[in-house]
Structure 1
Amino acid sequence: MLNSTGELEFSNEEDPEIISQLTSLALSDGKSSAGAPEKTGYPDSVYVMAANIFQGIRIEKSAQKVLIKYGNEPLRSFSESEDQSFQRLSYELAFSALKYQDILETILIDSCIFPSTTIPDHLSSLIIVMLYDFQDRKFQTRVLSDNEESISEVQEVENLLNSFKIKLAAALARCRIKHDALSIYHILPETVRKQELRASTLPLYAWINTCKISPEEVYNNLKRRGYNKVKSVLHIDDKVFAVDQHCYDVLIFPSHLKNDLINIDLFKDYKLIFQDKSRSLAVHSVKALLNMDDDILMVNTGSWYTVAHMSILTNNNTSKVFVCGVQSQAKDPDLKTLFTKIGCKNIEILRETFINIETKDHRLQKVKVILLLPRCSGLGVSNPVEFILNEHEDTEFLKDHSQGGISVDKLHILAQQQYEQLTHAMKFTKAQAVVYCTCSVCPEENEAVVKKALEFQDLGNKVQPYSGTLLRQCL
């Protein structure tokens, strides 16, 4: 149980006028909220899942700088929802708390919640994510659904935060004043703020599953729902869509339509699939290099949607899509279920890691194009939460994005791994092309890797060496 020595002292001090004055100084973003729906909080289970995500990715500090102790045990989850909207809310809340971790910890200390309360260490992550949401709601009471299942730990933390409401609002206002910032949003590093601004303005991309539906049928379906087809969706606030100029099966939507789109049957039935455009560019680059009976080898693809898109694009061919690096057999049922729902038929899973596959492997003698999607910093990704959900990336991905960059040492490690994989791909004598695709804007992971691989390529039995024109790079 949470036990506050100062709880009674603050619980009777609540003054709506004071709260209003303080929270007007302490909004969590710098944008106007006029016309925006009022935030009412999340279900208890979202807080628990967000706390567990945050616990795994929080920034660990040296012993001298530790303000709050975090336990090592995750909170007991009562319902692991497979619903992507539930997961999205949890990841977004955890990511927001991570970006503001330093500020939130300072507020908890300044408001005397720590160390004046006896709080189990394993609840610290829950307190952080719930505090972020509490201040984001301007310290207003959470609206609970009648049929919502309550979780005791969430209720206890909520009662604690409510009892310190004035102290928390005052601490947040002081933090804003100390940094001479319009809001705590403006305390974030400039690189993070630019990334958020970019994410809020970039359009959404979705590819058409032509195995299930034709582009014309999709257009007509969208038009019946009030969407108009236009040439460009930039700076348009209406319900519109456009066809991408590089990929004929990719549609573009304004970003504000995401919540409306995810609830329509086209997306629920896997007839339209959201995905970062870089992945669609990659598979279309491969498709352009194929003959009817050529096979493809996909390397390090965390995204099952990328595999599915490659399969759909070659559905009318006799091509096989080999995918290596899927080592966990526990994922087999999920993979097969997804591929069946999408309509994929020509995919073969290889258990070996790419580096351990022999260049003369008998299974790969018809492979003419290798699609290499190496692990990278992902600093070109505008929305890391969506990227994690769609590409099945590790949650550690959020940690780098919360800081606006990665360490030099980590960048060098990634670049070396990318170089080793690229040079290995170039040793496959029957392969005629390699498509190298990252989601990074760092030259060290792109031009530098490609240039180094071309300079030190081992020709072996290859009739023609690779050149910069044959090795494509998708950013």
Structure 2
Amino acid sequence: MALLSQHYGGSVPGMMKAYSSLASATNGKTSVSTSMSNKGSEILADNIPILLEDSDHGHGCNHVIYHYASQVFASLRPANRTDKLVLDVDLRAGKEPPKLTAIKDERAKRKVYDLAFATLKYQPLLEDMLVDSGYYGYDTVPDENHGVIMVILCDMLNRRFAKRLPQLNESVIPYVQEFEDDLFRHTTKLNASLARNRIKFQARSVECLLPEKVREREECGTKMPIYAWVNQLKNSVEEVTDHLIEDGYSKVNSVNSLGEYNFTLDTQCPNIMVFDAQNRNALEDSYLVRNGSLIIQAKSCCLGPHSVKSLLNEGDDVIHVYTGSGWTTDHLSTLTSQEHSTVFAFGVKNEEHQEQLMANAKKLGINNIKFLLENFFEVQHLDSRFKNVKVVLVTPKDSRSGVTNPVEYIIHEGADASILRELSQEQVDTDKLDVLVSQHMELLKNAMKFPRVQAVVYSTSSIFKEENENVVTKVTEYINARMTGKNAFRLIPPVLPLSPADLEEQPSSKFFKKPPSSTMGGCFLSVMSREDESMSASDVLARAAAKGLCSIPAPHGDDHKPKKKTSKTSQKLLPKSASSKKEKKGAKSPKIGGQSSDHDHGVPVKGPSLLVKKPSSKRIRPIRTASLMFAHHFTNHSNTERQQPYGVPMTKASLVRAQPKVEIILPHQESMYHPKPFL
């Protein structure tokens, strides 16, 4: 209270009473329950109410929100944001953001983080207003009540200095009430100071006073639609669609057509539904969300599980590092449940966190996740528990520079509240970024050391090249330089159905990168695969067709006769010289340019772009595959297109004439049809 005493000449009207009330409440000597309406809430030891579930239905802030928002702000505020005010750094030393365990209501918790984040963004402006208006003296040093004053002033700025209307049965905290009344008495001077700042910086609105990067991120966050994935262990996508239509929602064709009570299906992840941002409260209160049929989560967190699903075979297990709130692990489990896979989740903080994660998984009907309290760096790679682990999903604690709505990221992903401080500033802490990069590289190196791991999926919410491309490139080179007697890792594009517009945005075909926008937060996704080079092209096609990545129709009709079983078994019985002669004889296969000829399977089939033979100045030669070595010798059906007589052998001359035109495939289009890289 020293600063206010100096401002009022040694006497602060009404403020000392508030400070004494706070001190007595903190010591637990005096009860303020007589000045506080406690209906629908409980009281903590320091006489601060507990907000239970569904206890906050108002549209504004109250004293409990002011109290906890001031604690969050005080623990995250930078040392100096204005030259006119000197903050006591010792007040912030050793403080961590509160966990808000006393707030059970999710909407009230969202209001606390929203107010604290807004105060951090406008901190230079608010502190300048306090000094310029005369509320603070130029020679004062703020004390522990500075956070309460700042959050109340920020809320006044949001409602344009209109008087706050108390909510029905609102809990009143005496010290907060005293500061609120005193700031309201200075409304005229504070408003005049705001006007002078706008004139000084030629700002059309208060938002224009923010740094450019912070303002752009805020604009994207306000327009961001709501993404929710369908828990297919409870309901299918069709059943959820029918439920939404019964509840008054209507389905539209694209995200750009979303409006109130509209939804659409995502084009990249088939089990994700997209809603308009203004339907958040109605969606959270719906039966589908409350019973676990629909899980609200950012789309950038859902791309990793979908990429892992395309890499798994039946019986393969998965390791997930780190689990966080558990929703990404649960999503991965629901996608891989039909593969009879087990998901090992690392990153569990303590037993309480483990119980919470297990309770959420049980609510969703999941029973194939093992939440481990062990440190990921301390587990044995040859442990029998991980003998079937083929894929590792790494979602590290990154800089979150691609997040556009940090409050929702904290609530749904269980992130630390320190993200509010990082995203409220325009500058990047390079020292912290270097530490994160080092941690990410160690995580990937440890994941690649599991002997049977065939692929590592790396997913971040960062837009920095240092955390993304540089990490996966350096780690892959490091591991390959130290591997002996094993197939090397290489970067391959994630298997995601991307639109042509998405492909044009990709800087490389080896990974998927998305900048922050009004439709989706920024993210990065890459796959490091240990591919079996001895795998034949027909195996790649068959595996890709099994996953729905390309179509290879089976022979039909009476004209299609089964082939003689001489391709593999007879080659084993033949001597080495005879086998080599057969290979030379079979070099005339007409499979060229990623397309198989019509005497291959009956109709032309476009294969994955990975197998496309790029045109060159030399003569184009057909690609030989092991399973179709002799398929070019005879035609099994009439072909009017190439005018080849039925049953007549294909000569070398006719084969050259029958070669189709080579289709030029750009490098960034390979990610559309890239097949699964291993057995």
TM norm structure 1: 0.87
Instruction: Verify: 1:447 aligned to 2:469, yes or no.
Output: yes
- 8 Å Cα contact 1:107/1:171 also seen in 2: yes
| Offset, 1:110 | 1.1
SS in 2 for 1:115: coil
Q: 1:460 & 1:427 partners in 2: Cα distance?
A: 10
Instruction: Verify: 1:249 aligned to 2:268, yes or no.
Output: no
Instruction: Tell me the amino acid that sits aligned with residue 465 of structure 1.
Output: A
- Select 2:406's aligned residue among 384, 390, 394: 384
Q: 2:384 & 2:99 partners in 1: Cα distance?
A: 46
Instruction: Tell me the amino acid that sits aligned with residue 8 of structure 2.
Output: T
Task: Flag the 1:188–1:120 CA change in 2: closer, same or farther, 3 A.
Answer: closer
Q: Which has the higher contact order (CA 8 A, sep 6+)?
A: 1
Q: How does 1:58-457 map to 2 (within 5 A)?
A: 58-61=77-80, 66-69=85-88, 71=91, 80-115=102-137, 121-457=143-479
Instruction: Tell me the amino acid that sits aligned with residue 52 of structure 1.
Output: Q
- 8 Å Cα contact 1:327/1:352 also seen in 2: no
- The equivalent of 1:5 in structure 2 is 8
- 8 Å Cα contact 1:437/1:473 also seen in 2: no
Instruction: Verify: 1:53 aligned to 2:63, yes or no.
Output: no
| Offset, 1:257 | 2.2
Instruction: Tell me the amino acid that sits aligned with residue 342 of structure 1.
Output: L
- 8 Å Cα contact 1:377/1:406 also seen in 2: no
| Offset, 1:470 | 7.0
- 8 Å Cα contact 2:66/2:152 also seen in 1: yes
Q: Deviations over 1:321-347 (max 9, x none)?
A: 101121322323322222222222111
Q: Deviations over 1:396-445 (max 9, x none)?
A: 11111101352222222211211111122111111111000000111111
Q: 1:400 & 1:319 partners in 2: Cα distance?
A: 37
Task: Flag the 1:260–1:404 CA change in 2: closer, same or farther, 3 A.
Answer: farther
- 8 Å Cα contact 1:206/1:272 also seen in 2: yes
Deviates more, 1:115-124 or 1:354-363: 115-124
Q: 1:252 & 1:75 partners in 2: Cα distance?
A: 32
Task: Flag the 1:170–1:452 CA change in 2: closer, same or farther, 3 A.
Answer: same
Q: 1:87 & 1:325 partners in 2: Cα distance?
A: 24
- The equivalent of 1:36 in structure 2 is none
TM norm structure 2: 0.62
| Offset, 1:133 | 0.5
The CA RMSD measured in Å over matched residues stands at 2.7
| Offset, 1:79 | 7.9
Q: Deviations over 1:348-393 (max 9, x none)?
A: 1222222222222222111110000112111111111111111111
Q: 1:300 & 1:76 partners in 2: Cα distance?
A: 22
SS in 1 for 2:172: coil
- The equivalent of 1:465 in structure 2 is 488
- The equivalent of 2:651 in structure 1 is none
- The equivalent of 1:14 in structure 2 is none
Q: 2:62 & 2:74 partners in 1: Cα distance?
A: 19
Instruction: Tell me the amino acid that sits aligned with residue 164 of structure 1.
Output: H
- 8 Å Cα contact 2:87/2:141 also seen in 1: no
Q: 1:78 & 1:447 partners in 2: Cα distance?
A: 36
- 8 Å Cα contact 1:427/1:460 also seen in 2: no
List gaps (5 residues or longer) in structure 2.
14-57, 495-509, 513-523, 525-679
The alignment covers a number of residue pairs equal to 445
Instruction: Tell me the amino acid that sits aligned with residue 285 of structure 2.
Output: N
- Select 1:44's aligned residue among 58, 63, 67: 63
Q: 2:105 & 2:230 partners in 1: Cα distance?
A: 22
Q: 2:425 & 2:300 partners in 1: Cα distance?
A: 23
Q: 1:246 & 1:308 partners in 2: Cα distance?
A: 19
Task: Flag the 1:349–1:113 CA change in 2: closer, same or farther, 3 A.
Answer: same
- The equivalent of 1:32 in structure 2 is none
Instruction: Tell me the amino acid that sits aligned with residue 457 of structure 1.
Output: I
Task: Flag the 1:303–1:272 CA change in 2: closer, same or farther, 3 A.
Answer: same
Q: Percent identity?
A: 37
SS in 1 for 2:278: helix
| Offset, 1:245 | 1.3
Q: 1:129 & 1:285 partners in 2: Cα distance?
A: 42
Q: How does 1:15-26 map to 2 (within 5 A)?
A: none
- 8 Å Cα contact 2:264/2:275 also seen in 1: yes
Q: Deviations over 1:266-313 (max 9, x none)?
A: 122222111111221100111111122111100123231111111222
Q: 1:186 & 1:44 partners in 2: Cα distance?
A: 29
- The equivalent of 2:560 in structure 1 is none
- 8 Å Cα contact 2:63/2:172 also seen in 1: yes
